[in-house]
Chain A
């Protein structure tokens, strides 16, 4: 039985990874989760310099999900390379570094710094964070801006580049096409949906940022639809995510057209969420007579 998938020449022992921002750098969960079992570790967004992030409260629960407005707090690329990347060198799994920035130059600086880092298998460019005012989503909702940043990053990147797309657009296919046209090696989706929650007793927004990104099982059907649309529009591989909580959910994304999947918010609920997905996919394959996981990728439609 084969659970291995290949994306842009990078081999993954299985198609399961975490969604950026929900698993830190892996260090935080390493007491409870065997990181060697994961297809990849996708690190929390890192910028060229440290970011403070947003005021609190930054997180709140919503029906079958949550909203966050962390604001991409991160220690900056120097500390990331020294500490987080060094830690990950001890593990037998792919490392995908999520890169954030306020300007094209910020992104490019981080991408260049990571060029010589052998442990980094791929780069994921975060152009879809809804919680920072400058950069982030501004690049992810305008196809021209998306093309511009994709070209700039691709010109300097030494590793394959994944553009992480925002669902907060009218046509996800147009965004996927723009990324592909500008040379992206792969795309990942969906990032969180812009949302709002009001505390009616305190007459205040639940989050200090007023709006936040909605994630968790509540958004899964939206994500499946978008992964299907995007993967049937472009030829480059798609990494699918949005509310995955079980192996069945992961299989659903693979069938919709994703070459690999990421578990996000559900890591917070159960630290073994990704391991459960990996084991469950194998069980599903046995039960339904699938020899190779690649058989089911995009098998619906």
Chain B
């Protein structure tokens, strides 16, 4: 875990309000798929780091890719990043997805909703490297207006299924609808997306008896487990907090779906 200046290597707009930035940073050398970084703005009026998930990692080159939606000041500033610009970044943070436990014959299902898809790209890439052959990615989008950002990138590593709110591509409905429509079989689910989607995935996984790992979001201040701002209610007493709360930034952001109250 370090905090240092990262240099913008490449910056592009992927679709309406969705941007991709590659950084040169030492953080890449120890980062794992599903972890995140805190990105500082350049403004003295906006002092909290912005938690952004890592969407892809080039370990050897020391490069990290962040794909994000512009929602406010920090992401707005980052979306205007030019090659050579420097941003103070802290990371890698959090646990990441438990990919080392995935055996090559495992049928893996990735489920990403909207801006929840980017962290799963790094997962798909890593699974390919680990020799996992059956990887399906079900990606949910708003529809025509928002574009199918990253879908082409996912095709390099997985079988891609699309779900859209307006039915303009793939299944007309949610990612869960797409799994059912295409009768996708899986041994394990890795998911990231909005809370209603994660709740539906938790239910789906419980029905089918599949283990599901979901990546959660919450307002954060420190990103390192000190402030206790970003907690999620847990089924069992948490080993660190000794109450039914886990820190999303430290014990998470990835949790076993059945362990958290969402």
Contacts and interface: CB of A to CB of B under 8 A. Distances in A.
Interface of A: 21-24, 28-29, 31-32, 44, 50-53, 56-61, 63-66, 68, 70, 73, 75-76, 79, 216-217, 265-272
A57 B248 CA distance: 12
11 contacts: A21-B227, A58-B219, A59-B219, A59-B229, A61-B47, A64-B45, A75-B242, A217-B44, A265-B47, A267-B226, A269-B47
Contacts of B224: 24, 28-29, 271
Interface of B: 1-3, 40, 44-49, 88, 90, 218-232, 240-245, 250
Given A56-B218, A59-B219, A271 B90 contact: yes
Contacts of A216: 47
A268 B44 CA distance: 13
A56 B47 CA distance: 20
B241 A61 contact: no
Given A22-B227, A66-B221, A269 B49 contact: yes
B47 A73 contact: no
A75 B243 contact: yes
Contacts of A57: 218-219, 229
Given A31-B1, A66-B48, A217-B47, A53 B226 contact: no
Contacts, number: 111
Contacts of B242: 50, 75-76, 79
A268 B222 contact: yes
B45 A58 contact: no
Given A32-B2, A64-B47, A268-B222, A53 B245 contact: yes
B1 A73 contact: no
B231 A61 contact: no
B245 A268 contact: no
B90 A28 contact: no
A266 B90 CA distance: 14
Contacts of B250: 28
B39 to A, nearest CB: 12
A27 B224 CA distance: 10
A65 B245 CA distance: 26
Contacts of B44: 64, 217
A212 to B, nearest CB: 10
B59 to A, nearest CB: 19
Given A29-B226, A266-B47, A272-B3, 4 more contacts: A58-B229, A59-B230, A65-B47, A73-B231
A216 B44 CA distance: 11
B258 to A, nearest CB: 20
A58 B241 contact: no
B167 to A, nearest CB: 27
B240 A75 contact: yes
Q: Which of A51, A64, A268, A271 has the most CB of B within 10 A?
A: A268
Q: Which of B3, B218, B222 has the most CB of A within 10 A?
A: B222
Given A64-B47, A75-B240, A271-B90, A53 B221 contact: no
B41 to A, nearest CB: 10
A59 B231 contact: no
A63 B44 CA distance: 8
A31 B46 CA distance: 25
Nearest to B44: A64
A268 B243 contact: no
B48 A52 contact: no
